[in-house]
Amino acid sequence: MATKSLAESVPDARGRFGAYGGRYVPETLMAPLEELERAYTEARSDAKFQQELNDLLHNFAGRPTPLQFASRLTEYLGGPKIYLKREDLLHTGAHKINNCIGQGLLAARMGKRRVVAETGAGQHGVATATVAARLGLDCTVYMGAEDMERQRLNVFRMRLLGAEVIGVDVGSKTLKDAINEAMRDWVTNVRTTHYLLGSVLGAHPYPAMVRDFHRVIGQEAREQILNSEKRLPDWLFACVGGGSNAIGLFNDFLDDADVRMVGVEAGGRGTALGEHAARLAAATGFGGAKPGVLQGTYTYVLQTPDGQISTTHSVSAGLDYPAIGPQHAWLADRGRAEYTAVRDEEAIEALKTLAEIEGIIPALESAHALAELMRRAAKMKRDEIVILNVSGRGDKDMEILARYV
């Protein structure tokens, strides 16, 4: 049969994942996005680029990451065999570095000596500043003034790494205002500057490009599980903020119809609009998300009945965002992946469980995925195999945890 595989069918030439994705930007951004798309398309099939990328992923970031059999967690939950994909062991403590290395190399390849990024809690800013230092690029990070106050340690880290951190003192003084400022900077300085976007969001080609830089997670996991179990897993679990760590794990299993996928969003404090960041988990009662345009892409967006972007809440900053990557919206519509939400306190309980039972303190984001697995484990069979993506480590969350525990 000559039909295209599911994984290869998106995005189309216009950057669409079914109805989602695309390029909803002002005219001034069309040329830079086209330039980026061309450069990325060339780099993908350039052996030298791939070699530099692999070298940095290996020697700088620490890939491949282990796929660890969690024997004690498996025994404790009494259900399926659980394997942990240990992205928490990467340099800077999370999967984010995969994408930053890829885009940093691409910026250098395009002859751009400067990167700009926005950051909420500071994790993406730190990963960007880290890679910029390694590659000798200038780096400017925009951050809401409110967030800078809350995340002083990360501001300190970025500055130590040589980045300029600019506080954004307008609007709500948080992530979405920082995004606007970073975009403005990019438009103004586009000849010398690359906009290093942190998840599978934004206008085409970002959702596809960022996904591709994270596909290594699923490619490694596939090879590793085939080595240890001689077969593919039955389930994949990952948390979903913008959706980059999840799609990185899922993508190379999309054509394996027997591999089920669960994306876990932030259920926050409850189902009311403003209390959570669950965009695709409507089936479990979380309301307020409708298709709409945010940050250049058409996808599910949490919004008020009259179309204003809703505020969101999550104990984990990485999941606290009103929109979701367009490929996830597409996968949800097709029923290829399932999306659900976990509340703050369930994620905290899951974090404590993994810490006590496996000696791993996961990021609060990753703990959401674990909490969903813990809910379901009792109903799953003992010969089923699960891969859970531990997207990052929990060191960054100690202050928040100390407040809750």
Ligand X SMILES: *Cc1c(COP(=O)(O)O)cnc(C)c1O
Closest to ligand X by CB, 79 vs 243, is 243
Active site residue ranges: 96, 118, 391
Q: How far is the CB of 339 from ligand X (least distance, A)?
A: 12
Q: How far is the CB of 243 from ligand X (least distance, A)?
A: 5
Nearest C-alpha neighbor of 110 from the set 202, 27, 37, 15: 37
In the complex, residue closest to ligand X by CB:
392
Closest to ligand X by CB, 130 vs 199, is 199
Q: How far is the CB of 307 from ligand X (least distance, A)?
A: 24
Q: How far is the CB of 199 from ligand X (least distance, A)?
A: 4
Q: How far is the CB of 69 from ligand X (least distance, A)?
A: 21
Residues in contact with ligand X by the rule CB under 6 A? 94, 96, 123, 199, 239-246, 318-319, 363, 365-366, 391-392
Closest to ligand X by CB, 144 vs 318, is 318
Closest to ligand X by CB, 104 vs 241, is 241
Closest to ligand X by CB, 363 vs 380, is 363
Closest to ligand X by CB, 244 vs 327, is 244
Q: How far is the CB of 163 from ligand X (least distance, A)?
A: 17
**Residue-wise burial string across 239-264, b where 16 or more C-beta atoms lie within 10 A, e elsewhere:** bbbbbbbbbbbbbbbbeeeebbbbbb
